[in-house]
Amino acid sequence: MNTKKIFKLVLGASILATLFMISGCVSQSSYNNILQQNKDMRASLEQVNNQITNANKANTDLQKNIDMLNQKVIELTAENRALETKTPRHFIDRGELLNWRTAIGIIGTNTSWVDRCILLQQKALKDGFITSLDIDIYENTLGISLTVIAGDGFYCIYPDDLTINYITSIN
């Protein structure tokens, strides 16, 4: 039973009780019955009001959870978009490689050389370019760089230098 119906019942019973009392047409036992019914209806109304209060609190809690989950969906969607990469490809030409390398700048000055090379490789992949980590050993000296193909050239790039070093032609 909804609150409006209960309210109308209580109001109606109260009016009837008042009319009977005013007119003096009811016996004491009928009057006592009406008072008891009125008391019972008020108790029922109180229970319904408590249930409505509890339902409203539960609804508020659920809405907070929905809002929190919607925010999480927005955050995860943004993260997913940030992680999406283009299909990796080689650089079209030396100009594209040079523009990309200049835009990236010097990488990870406070990390190890290998970590800086890996970070540069990750940035290239995120931007949709193929790079290869190259490890060379020259007379007990370890050399690490990234090698890339741009157009028909094979190039070497370093995380701490914006210079693009031509190695050889791939043809």
CB 117 within 8 A of CB 105: no
The reported pTM is 0.49
* Among candidate residues 170, 157, 18, 139, the one with its CA nearest the CA of residue 96: 157
pLDDT, one tens digit per residue, over 99-137 is: 999 999 888 788 888 888 999 999 999 888 999 998 888
pLDDT, one tens digit per residue, over 83-98 is: 665 688 999 999 999 9
Encoded tokens for 32: 């006592």
